[in-house]
Amino acid sequence: MTVAAQATPLPPLVAAADTLTAEELTRYSRQIVLPGFGPLGQGRLANARVLVVGAGGLGSATITALAALGVGTVGIVDADIVELSNLPRQSIHDPGSVGAGKAASAAASVRALATRTRAVVHDLRLTRENALGILGDYDLVLDGSDNFATRYLVNDAAAILGTPLVWGAVHRFGGQAGVCWAVHGPQYRDLFPQPPEPGSVPSCEEAGVLPSVCAVVGGIMVGEAVKLITGTGRTLLGRVTSYDALTGGFRELAYERDPEGAPITELVDYDAFCGTTPPGDTAGTVVRPTSITAPELARRLAAGEQLTVVDVREPWEAEIASIPGGLLKPLPGIEGWVGEVPAEGAVVLYCHHGIRSETARRRLAASGVEALSLTGGIDAWSLSVDPRVARY
């Protein structure tokens, strides 16, 4: 299949359960009466095994909805613990879960919501060593991870296994969702052949995310899961839907298989592929820090440490807000500043959110100058150090 998008319904993923109890017929009656769904569709949900990668914002929206729908088995992969700052968008966890493992916390919520749904906890980091074994136990994978290394890993493992994949991503006021299934159409690598430059896309911690966006994108992902499991409707295979909360609008992008793309036959080092760790054997080497947090910068400045703080934004931005005592060296001409770099003390670069300063750091590194990038930029400085600094 080489067309941009699925033209006809795909075959259902699983056979239906033999029977539904009277309680199940009552509980799921509002979805059973849907045209083309019926007891057969509900029976397929009851037999389905779905793995959710990530129990964060998208995981909260998808895991609870899958359980509420009556999906028979929901696996949860996450090695993180619940933090207080997670709660606004990760509604599957409550304040009592802070400090607990996210996978176990999410599973507890599933068991409280739907006693007939089997919740499987995978309290671990998905790696190329364990991915095929874990994904191989499920009919469908929903990827709500928050980093590109995991997204490529999940896609490649699903492609090797022939497993359909529903993916979602959120960022600030928007998000995307799509379906990949190498057996029937395009995959994630056809849409994104190469990952973005490290540091070019800020994390949720740096950029923020509107909690309701997680609910919207997660809802789309669950809808795709239902269609794949039951064989109803037209899935997002070969299409991406994007949501913008600031306008309330949706856009759609269709894409095709890359005719020159090679089949995926093995898993690779995804941290190296995405540039999140140095490639090769780093044993015995010293890895120098490349970033600094706002509180740490404030502490070092207060201690009188010799630091050169450099603003790589444009002059008009510096007029709105800046860190006292810093130099203004806009990013476009940063290489021209190399000859003026002080010989003593560390250099700290900052911008609005940390993206341009990371780019500047890499350019200076290529010229032989080591520097640190301020994580989260001046926004982080305003939030955690000096609220008098204007945010824009």
pLDDT exceeds cutoff 60 at 235:
yes
Catalytic positions, please? 204, 351
**Architecture of 22-274 per CATH?**
3-Layer(aba) Sandwich (3.40)
190, HSE (Cβ side, Cα atoms, 13 Å):
28
Computed over its alpha carbons, how large is the radius of gyration of the chain?
A: 24
pLDDT in tens, 303-349: 999 999 999 999 998 998 899 999 999 999 999 998 889 888 999 99
The top-level CATH class assigned to 291-384 is alpha beta
pLDDT exceeds cutoff 90 at 195:
no
| CATH 3.40.250.10 domain position(s) in the chain | 291-384
Q: Which helix (H) or strand (E) holds 141?
A: strand 140-143
- Given a contact cutoff of 8 angstroms between Cβ atoms, the answer to whether 348 and 372 are in contact is yes
Q: Is the pTM of this model over 0.75?
A: no
| CATH 3.40.50.720 domain position(s) in the chain | 22-274
137, HSE (Cβ side, Cα atoms, 13 Å):
14
What is the pLDDT of the chain when averaged over all its residues? Answer: 90
Give residues with Cβ within 8 angstroms of 334, minimum separation 6: 312, 360, 363, 364
Lowest mean pLDDT among 45-49, 139-143, 193-197, 198-202: 198-202
Percentage of the chain surpassing pLDDT 70?
92
